[in-house]
Amino acid sequence: PLSERSYDISIGTGNLAEVGRWITSLRSVTHAVLISDANVAQHYLNPVSESLEAEGIRVTTLVVPAGEPSKSVGTSQELWEKALADRVDRKSIVVALGGGVIGDLAGFIAATMTRGLDFFQIPTTLLAQVDSSVGGKVGINLPAAKNIVGCFWQPKGVLIDTAVLETLPRREYLSGLAEVVKYGVILDPEFFEYLEANVQPMLDRDAVVLQKIVARSCELKAQVVAEDERETTGLRAILNYGHTYCHALETVSGYGQYLHGEAVSVGMLCASRLGEKLGVFDQEATKRQYKLLTALGLPVDVPKLDKEAILSAMQRDKKVEHGKLRFIVPHSIGKVVLTSDIPAGVAMEAWTDGY
């Protein structure tokens, strides 16, 4: 459990340019493989590589196209070969500068190159800052399945500069807020209230509020992960609140229709209605989520899609055991329970009532 807390997290505003000093305060480094995507590189590659070079670090810069297709075997091979050609060795480090795609990909390169290199993350999307950079899961996709090749590889440090969120497209930013709301619902009623009280500053990407919500979200995720690092006890499953419906929605609507956080938003409301159907969650609490997510500009309504297809997608979800539907069901804001053996009919009522 200690390994989760054993790495350094630095959260600030405008601390990006201090990355060189921060890394060298953690270990001595002579060579870094800096991996980013084309969008992020345009804004932030220079300050980061200059800051590393200022510490005497030789930097190999590898920039891949932005987007999910870069989380591939082909891109990995390119990165392994380019890193090798630029004399990577076992003392080199890997620095990921980007969103969840770059974090997962660069982490996978770090885990596999020369049987494992020290890895540092600079997450640049809200989703990456509050979710994918915490927990140690890294990996790539195969054409037939997402995140199917990978491993657990903890970073040695995560540097979060909330100022980089200023250049994030609005839709990407709002999508990340859905996961923030999720942490409130699953673990922390006071944090949920804080979010309700700070809608406008969140929409304005206010620096103070951003630092608070990013820090609290990381803390909450790290707590859960620390108690169930390898997903063995089931505790980590609570992070999947809203995600069974979300994954079905993403699959059936066609990838790309919904950003992940948008589908999470719809999915959380389905899970809340499921809680109502099961008699464990009250309508007022569903309304509070509805109101908060709507105010944050997130979609909350279930679109009209083939219900059979939604159900079969939920039954195929990898979190389903032996074909029986399991959901993270909310009991109150701040408390959710992994509930097995949910009849398909009830699960679909919670979906259909969202029309």
What are the residue numbers of the active site?
A: 115, 137, 179, 221, 231, 236, 240, 243, 247, 260
**Residues 143-162 within binding reach of ligand NAD (CB under 6 A):** 147
- Residue (45 or 350) nearer to ligand NAD, CB: 45
- Residue (69 or 303) nearer to ligand NAD, CB: 69
**Residues 80-119 within binding reach of ligand NAD (CB under 6 A):** 98-102, 104
| Least Å from the CB of residue 139 to ligand NAD | 7
- Residue (139 or 330) nearer to ligand NAD, CB: 139
**Residues 38-67 within binding reach of ligand NAD (CB under 6 A):** 39-40, 43, 66-67
Binding mask 271-310 vs ligand NAD (x if CB under 6 A, - otherwise)?
----------------------------------------
Does position 224 bind ligand NAD by CB under 6 A?
no
- Residue (111 or 350) nearer to ligand NAD, CB: 111
What is the rounded end-to-end Cα distance, in angstroms, of the chain?
43
Candidates 26-34, 35-43, 74-82, 240-248: pick the segment binding ligand NAD (CB under 6 A).
Answer: 35-43
Does position 131 bind ligand NAD by CB under 6 A?
yes
> Judging by beta carbons within 10 Å of its beta carbon (0-12, 13-18, 19+), is residue 165 exposed, middle or buried?
buried
> Judging by beta carbons within 10 Å of its beta carbon (0-12, 13-18, 19+), is residue 335 exposed, middle or buried?
middle
The CB density around residue 158, as the number of other CB atoms within 10 Å, is 24
Q: How far apart are CA 119 and CA 155, in angstroms?
A: 5
Residue with tokens 């707590």: 223
327: left (phi over 0), alpha (psi -120 to 50) or beta: beta
* ∠ Cα 199 196 220 (to 5°): 105
Is residue 244 within 8 A of residue 325, CB to CB? The reply is yes
Q: Which residue is nearest to ligand NAD (CB)?
A: 100
**Residues 326-345 within binding reach of ligand NAD (CB under 6 A):** none
> Judging by beta carbons within 10 Å of its beta carbon (0-12, 13-18, 19+), is residue 170 exposed, middle or buried?
exposed
Is residue 350 within 8 A of residue 305, CB to CB? The reply is no
Candidates 74-82, 165-173, 250-258, 345-353: pick the segment binding ligand NAD (CB under 6 A).
Answer: 165-173
Is residue 226 within 8 A of residue 1, CB to CB? The reply is yes
Does position 317 bind ligand NAD by CB under 6 A?
no
Residue ranges binding ligand NAD (CB under 6 A): 37, 39-40, 43, 66-68, 71, 98-102, 104, 124-125, 127-128, 131-132, 135, 137, 147, 164, 167-168, 172
